């Protein structure tokens, strides 16, 4: 599983053909983050766990994970 799947900064995009893409919204303000990070992302300095209202996985917020 990729960190992006539980990150508050991700936008899940599904194409008309059913392909799923994970867009990093941090890309717009920080060039360290690719717009479409190669998956799976195992470590990332920008990761913050999504809140339940984001519609993704919920749990404690923690941004201490490091990018590989």
Question: Interface residues with ligand SF4 (CB under 6 A)?
Answer: 3-4, 7, 9-10, 24, 26, 33, 37, 41, 44, 46-47
Q: How far apart are CA 26 and CA 60, in angstroms?
A: 20
Residue reference for tokens 């995009």: 13
Least distance to ligand SF4, CB of residue 16, Å: 23
Least distance to ligand SF4, CB of residue 21, Å: 12
Least distance to ligand SF4, CB of residue 17, Å: 23
Residues 6+ apart with CB under 8 A from 46: 7, 9, 24, 26, 30, 32, 33, 63, 67
Q: Give 17 or 21: the residue with its C-beta nearer to ligand SF4.
A: 21
């Amino acid at each position: 599983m990729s960190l992006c799947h539980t990150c508050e900064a991700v936008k899940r995009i599904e194409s008309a053909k059913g392909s799923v893409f994970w867009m990093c919204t941090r890309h717009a303000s920080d060039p360290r983050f690719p717009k479409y990070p190669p998956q799976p992302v195992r470590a990332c300095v920008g990761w913050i766990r999504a809140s339940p209202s984001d519609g993704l996985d919920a749990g404690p917020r923690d941004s201490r994970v490091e990018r590989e």
